[in-house]
Structure 1
Amino acid sequence: MLQILYILAFVIVAFLAVSNLIRNVLTLGAESTRPVDHRSRLNQRAASLRSSHPELLDDDGRVIEEPLLVMKSMTVEDARERLDAIYRSSPGGESSNSNTEGT
């Protein structure tokens, strides 16, 4: 009985997917034969250029001119030194082992 329910659910989902695909193809075909108004596209593009995203504006509403992402690069030696310092300061690091070896 459960297998029949799975098959029925699969058939329904497959039918919906295929019908949606056919509807989208027909809509795309109808839109491709329709004449294009280039003036409306230019107006939309100009309007999108005039309005900026709020996060790109300062308190006065002007577009900020500073770099938005600054990445600091480090050499392999710097990274190794930092990792060694973290390891030495950890509870099982070299500083803990040197204290137990002397006793």
Structure 2
Amino acid sequence: MLQLLYILAFTFLAFIAVGNLIRNLLAFGNEARQPVRSVPTTRRTQSIPHPEMLDDAGRVVQEPLLVMRSIGIDDMRDRLDAIYDSSPEGSARPNEEDEDDRPPLASI
């Protein structure tokens, strides 16, 4: 009895979904056939820039907004090592020779 109820509920929902699909396809088809309306004349022709694109005086910023630099992996490792060594905890860093004494890392 319960299986029959599930089948009826699924069939009902499937018919609703297919009906909505057909209704949406017809609505989009009718919308595509309608001519494009012209832009009203009351709209401004000049676009307003985003406030973050303006400087303190309200003028558009003319400088580059994002500058990305690419450096090599070795240079980045050297910089990170220098930052780590200059930190207070950096003095407790083990030597490169002691790496063999460590237990192997567990794989995940």
With normalisation by structure 2, the TM-score equals 0.52
Structure 2 alignment gaps of length 5 or more:
99-108
Q: Does the 8 Å CA contact 1:87/1:93 hold for their aligned counterparts? A: no
Between the aligned partners of 2:91 and 2:17, the Cα distance in structure 1 is: 56
Structure 1 alignment gaps of length 5 or more:
98-103
Provide the residue aligned with 2:60 in structure 1.
Answer: 63
Runs ≥4 residues deviating over 6 A: 41-44
Provide the residue aligned with 1:101 in structure 2.
Answer: none
Q: 1:75 aligns with which of 72, 89, 99?
A: 72
Between the aligned partners of 2:94 and 2:82, the Cα distance in structure 1 is: 9
Partner of 1:25: helix, strand, or coil? helix
Percent identity (aligned): 44
Provide the residue aligned with 2:30 in structure 1.
Answer: 30
Q: 2:48 aligns with which of 30, 51, 59?
A: 51
What is the aligned residue count? Answer: 89
With normalisation by structure 1, the TM-score equals 0.54
Between the aligned partners of 2:81 and 2:41, the Cα distance in structure 1 is: 58
| Bigger helix share | 1
RMSD: 3.8
